[in-house]
A and B are shown apart, each in its own frame.
Chain A
Amino acid sequence: MKQIKYLILAATVLYSTACQDLVQGINDNPNSVPIEAVSAVGFLTGAQLANIQVQLGHEQRIVSSWSGHYVGYQNLYKSLYEYALTSGESNGFWSYTYQGVVNQMRYIRKTVPSDKLLAGISKVMEAHSIGTLAAAYGNIPYSEAVNPEISDPKFDSQKAVFAALQTLLDEAITDLTGATKRVIAEDIHYTGDNAKWLEAAHTLKARYFTLTKEYDKALVAAQKGISKPENNFSFRPLASNNLQDKNLLFTLFSGSRTGDLGNRTSYLITTFLNPAVATSRNNAKTREAARRSFLLLDDRNAINNLGFAAITEPMPMITYAENQLTLAECATRTQGLSAGLTFLNAYRVQLNGGKLFRKLNATDELKYDPLVAADFVAGGLENADKIDPARALLREVIEERYIAFFNTWMTFNDLRRLRKSEADISVKIPFNKSTVTKHPERIIYPQNELNANSNAIEPAEGLYFVLEVNK
């Protein structure tokens, strides 16, 4: 009898374990779809919107306010304008770059590796967002970033990141060249047009070579870059009843931030383009009144904006203007004045023809007459201070870039690229505060990265740490 008792006890104990099978599948999320359930292309639109914020959003406006383009009038933008930037300000920028763009793009490539068109697009998107980040901050995580195995990605040198992006863009160009054209509705920029993506990839290559001062390579890349304004890589707002698809500046001015940031008293508007100011860019062959009106924003009454911040005005990110001006700059640098001048004049034809901005007031003067070599000789129209004619042309190109890059990172990038090494041709912008003697050279790393990534170390010089490529 006793044995039977123990037998039963032992048998029951054996039966009494927890069964994994019974709870299988219950924890699958009943409220959302897992990523596997979404086709790869479904992740493209969101990433493009994230990239738009990276390229055109808050951080861009901050650095543009340090570049003579914007003025922070009140609240947060006022302190940011006065260089009081804290690490908390960059959290969103980094998460949109790495999480919003790179993670999504890599997932697309991993899921549909044979789709060359999507692979090419995803690589251009990744190169675009990471390149902007590298230019803004200097050393950033890249080779170890967005890797599920690595929780603390190391920081690569700025030059290494740009080198890796050139390789990535080369791969993108190979993919896009080999891809068959098809309509991708989820692609809000080019709807899957590989020819346009190829041009954008080349202009990006040229941009990064320019940033790393490899002007000969930039000239080669730009030859295949964006060939006409219609091919611009832009954010095109929609004509809906919803505010959440509109020109970002219009949206900003519409909400509670009305009057916080604008350009009505900026260096660009009040001085640089202003026909009433003797030292402005206006001269016999160039009249900027119409372009100035187009760029002048009404930050206090959004609906009054008919130009750059009009409700559905496209917002350019990679453009014909950039490509043409890169050609002009690099050709001047590597081939001389006349080669550069040709590219600049081709660009001025587009300006004059109203292809690059709209003339808002009939009375505004608009004139971009062809420039000739004589304008750049010492004492000429564009060389009153009698410097080397090629330098004078470069200065004119850089000035043109300063305007053409309005509301993009490239303004800040050009200022830093030339400020140290080529002060003679760089645009001289004023300080926003009388007590400072240096312009910011970068942005401070985000707080979340500093907290969570043991490899993140903020340089002691902070904002004023001069980046590798700008020395």
Chain B
Amino acid sequence: MLLLLFGLFQSLNAQQTVKGTILDEKGNPIIAVNVILKGSGTGTVSDLDGKYNIQVPNANSVLEFSFIGYKSKSESVGNRSTIDVTLEEDAELLDEVVVSALGFTQKKDQMGSTYSTVATQDVVRSGETGLINGLAGKAAGVRVARSNGDPGAGSTIQIRGANTITGSSSPLVIVDGVPISNSTIYGNGNGGTDAGVSQQSRLNDINPADIESIQVLKGASAASLWGSRAANGVIVITTKKGKSGKPTISYTSSFSYDQINRQHPLQDKFGQGFNGLWSATASQSWGDKISSRAGGADEVITNRDRFEALDGTVYYPVSKKNSQETFNESNFDAIFQNGNFLQNDLSISGGSDKSTFFFSLGNLSQDGIIKGSDYDRTTLRLNNQIFFNDWLSMTTRAAYTKTSSNRVQQSSNIDGLYLGLLRNSPDFDIRDYKGTYFNTAGQAFPNAHRAYRRHLGYPQPAYGNPIWVTNDQKNTSEVNRFLMNAELNVDPLSWLKFTFRGGLDASTDNRVYFFPKLSAGAVNGELFQDDIEENEFNFDAIAKGSFDLADGVSMLATVGWNYNNQNRDLNYTSIVGFLVDYPKPVTSLNTSNDASSVERIKRYVRSNRGYSVLNFNIKNQFFLNATATMEAASSVAGSFFYPSFDGAWQFTQLEAFKGNKVLSFGKLRASWGKVGVQPQPHRAQTLAEGGVVYSSYSDGLNSSQFGGGFRINNNQGNPNLRPEIKTETEVGFDLRFFNNKLGLTTTYYQNKIVDLLFNVSTAASTGFTSIYTNGGEMENRGIEFDVDYDLIKKKDFGLNIFGNWNNNRNKVIDILGVQSIDLTGQSISSRAVQGQPLGVLWGTRAVRDENGAFILDKNGFPQQASTQGVIGNPNPDWRGAMGVRANWKSLSINLLFEHSQGGDFAERTRFILRNFGTHADVGNEVTLTQELKNVAGKVFPSGTTVRGNIFDYGAGPVLLDQAWYTGLGGGLGDGVINELAISDFTWTRLREVSLSYTLNTPAFRQKTKLSSVVFSLTGRNLWLKTGIVGIDPDTNQFGVSNGFGIEYFTNPGTRSVLFTLQITY
């Protein structure tokens, strides 16, 4: 085809030279204005001084001058040899360019679907180390939910609610026209998503400082070009390019000071023990009243066993607890610190009229608020653009990211930080955590692990001492990632353009999980190494042609073909049980073959798509866009077709609106489109599986012991898998008032996802017990508002208010009759339940009557229902954000508030700590003013002072004491009323506040030769209002997951203050 086009290409015999200067209205030169000889397709661009030089065939030639943000202008040459031009700013078009899913710029006002643009400076200024968290609160309908505040921890991004039950909810991320991975892989060593450490989101490997623009394509129609990968929406990122002219050197340095955002309140009035009696081995802190102790040193037994700490302190068995000392604060300080990060970014960009470049080098070095946790990210990028001539140009981009981090075990995990710290009794000092245990016979056991309940470091700890967890256990991750991208643009004719674009995203993540001997959950020592390799290759060939169909009707046709190949190799090795006690994760800790295991899991997905897009412009008033995509993917049977249509009507073009003082711009838009979610790969075949354990009840027979052999897998292969298909319709308005000062965008959308994929149990009599299959339906609908109001826009003073709002409503319509699909596991789980929004909380309930009131027992307490069910819905009623941008001369201030209204959150840590007797909720003493009963029916006369709380469940006040909190009213597992752990999820926060001062006066520039110096002070998360106690509710036990709204000894969130200095040369 290229040959054909080259054949068509005709060079012109230049006969006349025209030159000139292009200036803006203020008289400043405009660089890189397109100067086109009308009808020929040839042209040039203006240089750094706004000058151009072009050869034209004759005096009848017409030159067209165009540049984004300015109104185009035509000039007939006549006999002139110099044509100077002044271009007027086109106010309507400023900031109104969006980047499509194919990486091309388009005029936003001509689009029929929703494009949300997030300004890069807003992300950079947010003070977040990761790009994803920087998007929080920036666009309606985009939910960013954190795992926790650990350095480098990944986050869930969800656009317009859940679009899949068992698939990934991450949007497709397109960087410079090429998809990149945003996976969060939990792997083998993490031991599931309910525990382990925080895993990263791969999108955060991108340095926000390298980004030029971010667009969120929420609707199906804008994304349908990406077929089965686009159901979760698309985030389109464009990285920075150099501009021709003097090189720009920019250096930015930020220092952040981070603190724990919320701390679980603990009691320090009652000691370790039960029933009011002290015990050194008790798991709970329902012991004696500490202030009633004799005081002074404990009485000890010195002739039995003992523990000698590393510093020589000796601990003996306690015969009488006298000490009134408590250690909540010192224990906390032994683990937590003020975190910090230092980020340095250097960029150099520039170029000539033939080539431009952008180079950047960035480093982020972070120490978390938990001692031992860290994250270090180094990024390197070189973007290069070469204009070979006026019809051939090439862009190459290469980026490298290296991250290394150490994470701290958390959540449902006896080796986890908070589990050991928060269950720890207030009268136990954790600081002497390691030493030597001597038994009564004097035999020494070195490297003994001392923790509460094991105050002499023997036998193995029930829960890890938090210092052991942060200091001796290691959980490192080392990521190396390359992003490469090359794009060739061929513009042979004025109406025709070709783009060939290839990209590669290759990364490795080497993770080590090391539990030394005597770790609580790995008494003999365990070492896991997960080596994760991911790579994705993508290629597009795109042709764009413009056609004038009739007077005032034009069409832009884009046709293209895409090839995409994703490979993932997960290599898992482990050593369980060490022969030597050595504190480093080396593979020779056990040399026996029996101790080690190796597993390799590969995943290959390939697809190719042919697509065409037709954009019609009818009299600059109606814009119709149609997309057709045909996709063949390796995991899908057959080819699938993804159509979409959208239309926009700029009704303010009507005569009736011309010159309207109030409404400056109005657009009505509507769109419809289909997108999909690919099935899991490699599920088509029925497999032969080996190493099967046949067990009917704790009596397993392993086929490996009987010479190996195979069985036909009980999970039936399904060669007919189809993608989940989401069909979405949206309608909306884009309105601008008062000379474009007030902008309002509103959209109503509704979508239905059919053919949802999940594992279904089959009747055993079919010969299989499950099949991964399509079936089931889910829907989302909601309204989005984005508002932006320039209250004041003057040279020295500007004030802008902006906000966004969304109320997504999700409903699981059908899941093939399955009662529920568990997304998370655990005693309170997040599930898909028919007729309920996705993610509802599930667990043990209280017995209630038909009006929903508790049916109380004879003592006035709730009773446990015999069946589990839905106990809450973590989906908010609505979410919104509101902010202010103000500037006065060189000073600017930004504020961003974010609010999440309604929904339910499971405060499991608090609920369980009540059982353990350590939570401040259960540190109260009350003096009864009337006779009360506890849950066991025991009567406490008026005037009694008792540890507990008075509460009324509906049958008059009752006494909540140890019997209640260690029974149905607190604790873990299913033997409690887990419903009572549910609280209101509502929160409001000051996401960001920043103040910056820019020094760029002419005198300063003259004197320093610098363009500008900017000083900024940013506060991140400084204010939070919520009913959730002890933890920032923007936390998820299950990390990056479709299940949410549950917290269980999950590492805490943070707040920060940052100082930034930016110097631009």
Contacts and interface: CB of A to CB of B under 8 A. Distances in A.
Contact of B695 (A16, A53, A446): A53
B559 A12 contact: yes
Interface stretch (A90-98, A117-125, A208-216, A269-277): A90-98
Contacts of B600: 31
Interface stretch (B25-33, B705-713, B957-965): B705-713
A448 B761 CA distance: 7
A146 B702 CA distance: 24
Contacts of A96: 694, 696
Interface string A233-263: 0000010101111001101100111000000
Contacts of B701: 49, 52-53, 244-245, 248
B705 A52 contact: no
B632 interface: yes
B764 A449 contact: yes
A363 interface: no
**Residue among B607, B610, B709, B817 with the most chain A CB within 10 A?**
B709
B769 to A, nearest CB: 5
Interface stretch (A37-45, A320-328, A423-431): A37-45
A440 B920 CA distance: 53
A138 interface: no
A278 interface: no
B144 interface: no
Contacts of B586: none
A52 B699 CA distance: 11
A188 interface: yes
B890 interface: no
Looking at chain A's contact residues, the main secondary structure is helix
A151 B762 contact: yes
A389 interface: no
A49 B696 CA distance: 11
A341 interface: no
Given A52-B694, A186-B707, A251 B763 contact: no
B696 A26 contact: no
A30 B561 contact: no
Contacts of A61: 697
B688 interface: yes
Interface string B710-739: 111110000000000000000000000000
A299 to B, nearest CB: 12
A93 B682 CA distance: 28
B672 to A, nearest CB: 21
A359 interface: no
Contacts of B560: 16
A152 B606 CA distance: 35
Contact of A57 (B1, B609, B697, B760): B697
A359 B900 CA distance: 75
A453 interface: yes
Contact of B766 (A23, A92, A146): A146
Contacts of A30: 602-604, 682
Interface residues of A, number: 92
Nearest to A103: B767
B547 interface: yes
A13 B612 contact: yes
Nearest to B547: A5
Contact of B702 (A47, A95, A244): A244
B687 A29 contact: yes
B611 interface: yes
A98 B687 contact: no
Contact of B712 (A18, A91, A107): A107
Contacts of B386: none
A333 B808 CA distance: 76
Given A13-B559, A43-B709, A45-B709, A242 B763 contact: no
Interface stretch (B115-123, B449-457, B633-641): B633-641
Nearest to B599: A31
**Residue among B605, B630, B689, B763 with the most chain A CB within 10 A?**
B763
B693 interface: yes
B157 to A, nearest CB: 28
Interface string A256-299: 11000000000000000000000000000000000000000000
Contacts of A12: 1, 543, 559
A31 B703 contact: no
Interface string B764-797: 1111110000000000000000000000000000
A361 interface: no
A256 B608 CA distance: 53
Interface in B662-709: 681-682, 684-689, 692-709
Contacts of B606: 22-23, 26
B41 to A, nearest CB: 12
A251 B701 CA distance: 9
Contacts of A141: 763, 765
B12 interface: no
Interface in B1-57: 1, 4-5, 8
Contacts of B687: 29, 32-35
B951 interface: no
Contacts of B635: 27
B557 interface: yes
Contacts of A136: none
A11 B543 CA distance: 11
A430 to B, nearest CB: 24
Contacts of B187: none
Interface in B833-888: none
A131 interface: no
Given A9-B557, A12-B1, A59 B762 contact: no
Given A35-B687, A153-B766, A238-B706, A18 B639 contact: yes
B601 interface: yes
Nearest to A447: B761
A452 interface: yes
Contacts of B763: 141, 151-153, 448-449, 452-453, 456
Given A53-B695, A98-B765, A23 B634 contact: yes
A46 B711 contact: yes
B490 interface: no
Interface in B569-604: 600-604
A16 B706 contact: no
A28 interface: yes
Contact of B610 (A18, A32, A35): A18
Nearest to A23: B634
B496 interface: yes
Contacts of B765: 94, 98, 140-141, 145-146, 153, 449, 453
Interface string B100-139: 0000000000000000000000000000000000000000
Given A44-B709, A245-B705, A453-B763, 8 more contacts: A18-B607, A26-B634, A30-B603, A58-B699, A94-B764, A147-B766, A148-B767, A245-B702
Interface of B: 1, 4-5, 8, 495-496, 543, 545, 547, 557, 559-561, 563, 600-612, 630-635, 638-639, 681-682, 684-689, 692-714, 760-769, 817
Interface of A: 4-6, 8-9, 11-13, 15-20, 22-24, 26-35, 37-38, 42-47, 49-50, 52-53, 57-59, 61, 76, 91-100, 102-104, 106-107, 140-141, 145-148, 150-153, 185-186, 188, 238, 240, 242-245, 248-249, 251-252, 255-257, 446, 448-449, 451-453, 456
30 contacts: A4-B8, A5-B547, A8-B1, A15-B559, A16-B610, A17-B630, A26-B605, A27-B682, A31-B602, A31-B682, A32-B689, A33-B688, A34-B686, A35-B685, A38-B688, A46-B694, A50-B711, A53-B699, A93-B696, A96-B694, A100-B711, A103-B712, A103-B767, A146-B766, A152-B763, A153-B763, A186-B707, A188-B707, A252-B697, A255-B698
